[in-house]
């Protein structure tokens, strides 16, 4: 498998884990493979809540030691890495100083590791999320290609975490289930026992309109490729079947189940859509959802550009309307001259706006600003 293929697979697994948390270990393992790392850890910590560490390549004690170091005495060189940026440890601290550090002596050395890459994903007063991957002692340092692989994956990993957080936090009963589902920035389709779609949100309808990957009609959901359509139908049927045990419960329990996940291929170079189907029993129905619902399909578009809302940027960082509009364009990957042209302003004026934006966001370079905005401007609902 080529490096590009391992990166694409890691991205698919990351988005699948956003919909099915039990898949996070597989996603972390895929990221480690893309970066040719023997060890990896995703660490999340929230105030007044126990920390969470999903690790690959560590035994239980070594993982606990590293988790403890991160939670109790995070090294200053890690704290200095901008959110959303992947950095080789050797670029932030010399090998000599690293060998003397607490995190190496107390956690990395006992685990048999040395060189690493670290990427802070979330840094908020109430929540910290850090991804790191490492190599065994005696292995060569990570190359530029290894760092580049993680740099490509990090924005998707951050987005997936935001998706998971929004899905966990959505109070469907209080706000009205259909209203929340309608505005989710991932595709949602609900099915009855006959596999007929009874609801599709705006995102699912938009994906279907392209005719590339997901197909949606009033009576069925399918895929543009016949093999994908069969996999999709099998996934939906498997989810619905879990609600139809009845007298044949024992037979259903031992019958091999089709996977309730699949990928829908799209025209190159687009990445496949990531699909997860979950059973919905009558006892689990949320207020406002049709009583005939028996399965819910979630679909994520891995290569979709993150939408940055200028109004949110203005409110968050006290930017003017024009500064926020320029910042949003920069976050979409535009160069300053291109963003200035699209905004209808001179490049000199754009440089002046950028200077003010950097000052208000406490950043020093355009790349650092974009990293901050991608993290702070993610929106899973519209």
Are 241 and 194 in the same domain?
yes
Q: Please say which residue of 169, 188, 223 terminates a domain.
A: 169
Local confidence band at 132 (pLDDT 50, 70, 90 cut-offs): very high
Are 69 and 150 in the same domain?
yes
Are 10 and 152 in the same domain?
yes
Distance, CA of 294 to CA of 242 (rounded, Å): 9
Residue 252 lies in a domain: yes
DSSP at 186: S
Distance, CA of 90 to CA of 301 (rounded, Å): 34
Nearest in space to 107 (alpha carbons), one of 142, 74, 81:
74
Place of tokens 């329990």: 253
Which regions of the chain does DSSP assign to beta strands (E)? 39-46, 52-56, 87-88, 113-124, 127-136, 187-191, 197-200, 214-216, 221-223, 261-264, 273-279, 295-300
Are 190 and 92 in the same domain?
no
Measured on CA atoms in the order 352, 358, 364, 367, is the torsion positive or negative?
A: negative
Are 105 and 237 in the same domain?
no
Are 160 and 217 in the same domain?
no
Residue 81 lies in a domain: yes
Q: What is the CA radius of gyration of the chain?
A: 23
Helix axes 24-34, 144-169, angle to 10 degrees: 160
Are 357 and 339 in the same domain?
yes
**Boundaries of domain holding 274:** 172-300
**pLDDT score for 256:** 43
Are 40 and 135 in the same domain?
yes
Are 156 and 41 in the same domain?
yes
> What are 91's two structure tokens?
């670029």
**pLDDT score for 174:** 42
Local confidence band at 251 (pLDDT 50, 70, 90 cut-offs): very low
Region 272-289: mean pLDDT is: 75
Local confidence band at 172 (pLDDT 50, 70, 90 cut-offs): very low
Region 149-163: mean pLDDT is: 89
Residue 75 lies in a domain: yes
Query: b vs e for 341-370, b when ≥16 Cβ sit within 10 Å of the residue's Cβ?
Result: eebebeeeebeebbeebbebbebeeeebbb
**pLDDT score for 315:** 74
Are 52 and 200 in the same domain?
no
Q: Of the ranges 43-57, 59-73, 147-161, 262-276, which one carries the lowest mean pLDDT score? A: 43-57
What's the mean per-residue pLDDT of the chain? 84
pTM more than 0.85? no
Distance, CA of 237 to CA of 252 (rounded, Å): 13
Domains in the chain: how many in total? 3
Q: Please say which residue of 169, 187, 209 terminates a domain.
A: 169
Are 40 and 136 in the same domain?
yes
Instruction: Answer whether 371's CB lies under 8 Å from 82's CB.
Output: yes
Q: Please say which residue of 256, 281, 300 terminates a domain.
A: 300
In this predicted structure, the answer to whether residue 305 has a pLDDT above a threshold of 80 is no
In this predicted structure, the answer to whether residue 134 has a pLDDT above a threshold of 80 is yes
Q: How confident is the model over 12-34, as pLDDT tens digits? A: 899 888 888 888 999 999 999 99
* Better pLDDT: 315 or 354: 354
93: domain CATH number? Answer: 3.30.450.40
Instruction: Answer whether 79's CB lies under 8 Å from 61's CB.
Output: no
């Amino acid at each position: 498998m080529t490096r590009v293929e391992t990166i694409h697979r890691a991205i698919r697994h990351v988005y699948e884990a956003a919909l099915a948390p039990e898949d996070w270990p597989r996603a972390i393992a895929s990221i480690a493979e893309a970066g040719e790392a023997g060890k990896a850890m995703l660490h999340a910590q929230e105030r007044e809540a126990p920390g969470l560490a999903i690790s690959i390549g560590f035994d239980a004690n070594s993982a606990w030691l590293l988790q403890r170091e991160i939670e109790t005495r995070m090294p200053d060189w890690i704290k200095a890495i901008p959110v959303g940026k992947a950095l080789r440890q050797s670029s932030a601290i010399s090998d000599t100083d690293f060998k003397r550090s607490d995190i190496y002596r107390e956690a990395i050395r006992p685990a048999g590791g040395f060189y690493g890459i670290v990427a802070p994903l979330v840094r908020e007063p109430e929540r910290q999320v850090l991804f790191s991957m490492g190599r065994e002692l005696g292995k060569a340092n990570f190359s530029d290609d290894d760092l580049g692989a993680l740099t490509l994956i990090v924005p998707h990993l951050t987005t997936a975490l935001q998706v998971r957080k929004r899905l966990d936090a959505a109070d469907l009963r209080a706000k009205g289930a259909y209203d929340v589902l309608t505005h989710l920035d991932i595709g949602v389709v609900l099915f009855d026992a006959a596999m007929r779609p009874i609801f599709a949100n705006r995102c699912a309808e938009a994906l279907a309109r392209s005719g590339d990957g997901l197909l949606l009609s009033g009576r069925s959901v399918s895929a543009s490729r016949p093999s994908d359509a069969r996999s999709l139908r099998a996934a939906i049927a498997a989810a619905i079947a879990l609600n139809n045990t009845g007298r044949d419960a024992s037979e259903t329990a031992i019958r091999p189940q089709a996977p309730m996940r699949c990928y829908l291929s799209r025209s190159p170079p687009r990445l496949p859509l990531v699909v997860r189907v979950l059973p919905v029993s009558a006892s689990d129905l949320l207020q406002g959802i049709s009583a005939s619902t028996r399965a819910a399909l979630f679909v994520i578009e891995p290569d979709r550009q993150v939408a940055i809302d200028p109004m949110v940027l203005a409110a968050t960082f006290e930017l003017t309307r024009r500064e926020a509009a320029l910042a949003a364009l920069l976050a979409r990957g535009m160069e300053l001259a291109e963003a200035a042209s699209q905004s209808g302003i001179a490049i000199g004026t754009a440089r002046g706006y950028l200077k003010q934006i950097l000052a208000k966001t406490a950043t020093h370079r355009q790349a650092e600003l974009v990293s901050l905005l991608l993290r702070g401007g993610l929106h899973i609902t519209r």
